Chains A and B, each alone.
Chain A
Amino acid sequence: MTRTGFVIANLFRKRVRTLLTLLSVIMAFLLFGLLQSVNTIFSSGADFVGATRLFVQARVSFTTALPLSMVPKLEAIPGVARVAYQQWFGGVVLKTNAQLIMFALDPQRYHDVYSEWKMPEAQWQAFERTRTGLIVGRQLANQFGWKVGQKVPISSNIWPQKNGSKAWEFDLVGIFDGKDEDWQKRTNLAFMQQDYFEEANQFGIKGRTNFFILKLADGANAEAISKTVDAMFENSPDETKTQTEKDFNISFVKQIGDIGLMVRWILFAVFFTLLLVVGNTMAQSVRERVPELAVLKTLGFSDRSVLGFVLAEAFALVLAGGLVGMVLASLAGAWVEKATGGQFLLEVNGAVWSLGVAAIVLMSLAVGLLPALRARRLKIVDALAGH
């Protein structure tokens, strides 16, 4: 027998209680792993995008469209190399109900601004000249098994066609990849022609877009240009808000709500409950065996050793549950990613694991320290006499 063996034997003195507590720890860390990875998605500003592009949207909200007549004015600003624009289309893949992240845009301009998307030049050209052309990212193509040349039926609840039909039919003319791993992870996008959108949408929306993307010239001062743009349209019917692409990405996801804050509150509730459950188990476990702890001290185990035994039990319990929970979270994350064809990247990565390990250590201390100190303070004579 070893000290570790003794700790484990004590842990399973009441098997049902320990297993139930273990289950609650596993569930808490499963939730922690998944929610923390969601939090990472929503709080990361896509650091890899850099600051070579600015996003211009209506000051009120990006749902308010801006006129395309702004393009020449924007392009005239010193430091702006090229301007592209994107109009939200959304859309659902018919018969699957899968939501798409899809925009209407000018193919040439977009190609000029986004060199990160890699696609054969012939496919870019096909996209330019095909009114009903559609290009999609590799992830999306893989998810639905789409091949270049096929028809892709997409339904839009926001933008019915002039004939009243919600179903739009596109010709898939290109599939693009990302220039590296980070960009490849974002190939869950789809793009259609702005011209087709303007001609076919029932509301006659024409000459307007949700946002402009400014590609900056080398050495251009992003902050100064951003201020120039907003000043240029100040007090006009189309006041703007200009920010870097990274900031835009963050504010875009925050339109849904402050996910990070929500996740933190949920995790707080989960861990607070866990603290009570495991803390109570540990306190009960120590209370039940006060005489045994006194015997350990009688046999010559020091106060510190007895404190160590109780802390080790708390640590073993939280560690076992925490590791199983985190592994399950990793598996669940991978499954979600696979099931959504990479649309939802629920990756329990190294950063989430590091936080998980820190949570395991903190939780062990939080639930084990008080009972351990109580065990340490026990006076042998009183404990043996049942006081």
Chain B
Amino acid sequence: MSEPMVQVHNVTKVYERGRQKIEVLHGLTLDIPKGDFVALMGPSGSGKTTLLNLIGGLDKPTSGEITVGGRRIDQLGSGQLANWRAHNVGFVFQFYNLMPVLTAEGNVELPLLLTKLSGAQRRKNVSVALEVVGLADRAKHKPRELSGGQEQRVAIARALVSDPQLLVCDEPTGDLDRKTADEILGLLQVLNRDHGKTIVIVTHDPKAAEFARRTLHLEKGQLLEQAA
């Protein structure tokens, strides 16, 4: 696990709210090796989600370098970053964020519309992804016809379908009961262990963090280890 998947070097992130400047991350440095499963924990406002967004290429740092899978993503333009995200990273959100007008398979197929795969190949990949998350029999159901846990499984299938090496998950179990949350985290563990996916999750839940290989704590925009 020594080859790095994510390298965050001396990253600072400042948000501007009106005239006010808020520095959320202060010169943060972090390495996540390939195949790792990292839980980011910390109090609200500590910068967990901001760090996750930067790693996933949803936002850009104010200063510092971010390299993911050997590519400097902090230097990419908005269009290049969108293209990079489509092929290199999968996202899982707390509230699933599925498209209500699409069926489970439609939702999972959505990222594949950005590829050159044929319709038949897309359908095959979708079917495999739904199989992996154990929802092959729910392919034709719309989100409102699924339970929370099932919706999150569909979201995970959507994150997986284009076969990215990195999965970033923001409070993936925050909206689920304990039992369902454990099932989802177990699924993420399988994806990490058996499919070699590098996973970074943000969570407030220590029990959820136990499913990760290691836990990093953030406070006031710095990793506690760095702060110490």
Contacts and interface: CB of A to CB of B under 8 A. Distances in A.
Interface of A: 1-3, 6, 9-10, 12-13, 291-292, 295-304, 380-381, 384
Interface string B52-64: 0100101100000
A146 B25 CA distance: 93
Interface string B87-116: 100010100010111100110011101100
A6 B110 contact: yes
Given A1-B110, A301-B86, 19 more contacts: A6-B99, A6-B102, A10-B101, A12-B101, A291-B97, A292-B99, A292-B100, A295-B99, A298-B56, A298-B91, A299-B158, A300-B83, A300-B85, A301-B82, A302-B78, A303-B78, A303-B82, A384-B93, A384-B97
A111 B155 CA distance: 84
A380 B85 CA distance: 12
A44 to B, nearest CB: 47
A296 B158 CA distance: 12
Contacts of B100: 13, 292
Contacts of A380: 53, 58-59
A299 to B, nearest CB: 5
Contact of B86 (A6, A12, A295, A300): A300
B118 to A, nearest CB: 12
Contact of A302 (B59, B83, B102, B119): B83
Nearest to A304: B79
Interface of B: 53, 56, 58-59, 78-79, 82-87, 91, 93, 97, 99-102, 105-106, 109-111, 113-114, 119, 158
A381 B60 CA distance: 10
A303 B87 CA distance: 17
Q: Which of B56, B82, B111 has the most CB of A within 10 A?
A: B82
Contacts of A295: 93, 97, 99
Contacts of A299: 85-86, 91, 110-111, 114, 158
B113 A9 contact: no
B82 A297 contact: yes
Contacts of A303: 78-79, 82
List the 3 closest pairs (A to B, CB-CB), nearest first: A300-B86, A9-B101, A302-B82
A214 to B, nearest CB: 70
B102 to A, nearest CB: 6
B106 to A, nearest CB: 5
A9 B56 CA distance: 28
A8 to B, nearest CB: 9
Q: Is the interface of A mostly helix, strand, loop or mixed?
A: helix
Contacts of B78: 302-303
Contacts of B58: 298, 380-381, 384
A298 B79 CA distance: 12
Contacts of A297: 82
A9 B82 contact: no
A10 B119 CA distance: 20
A9 B158 CA distance: 18
A292 B102 contact: no
A9 to B, nearest CB: 4
Contacts of A384: 58, 93, 97
A10 B101 CA distance: 6
Contacts of A302: 78-79, 82-83
Contacts of A2: 113, 119
B113 A3 contact: yes
A246 to B, nearest CB: 56
A10 B110 CA distance: 13
Given A295-B97, A381-B59, A6 B113 contact: yes
A54 B16 CA distance: 77
A177 B116 CA distance: 63
Contacts of B111: 299-300
A300 B109 CA distance: 13
B97 A292 contact: yes
Nearest to B17: A387
A233 to B, nearest CB: 75
Contacts of A298: 56, 58, 85, 91
Contacts of B102: 1, 6, 9
16 contacts: A1-B109, A1-B110, A6-B99, A9-B106, A10-B101, A13-B100, A297-B82, A298-B56, A298-B85, A299-B91, A299-B114, A301-B86, A303-B79, A380-B58, A380-B59, A384-B93
Contacts of A304: 79
B53 A381 contact: yes
A300 B99 contact: no
Nearest to B79: A302
Nearest to A296: B110
Contacts of A296: 110
Contacts of B56: 298
A1 B91 contact: no
A172 B78 CA distance: 81
A300 B110 CA distance: 10
A189 B136 CA distance: 74
A270 to B, nearest CB: 31
B114 A300 contact: yes
Contacts of A6: 99, 102, 106, 110, 113
Nearest to B99: A292
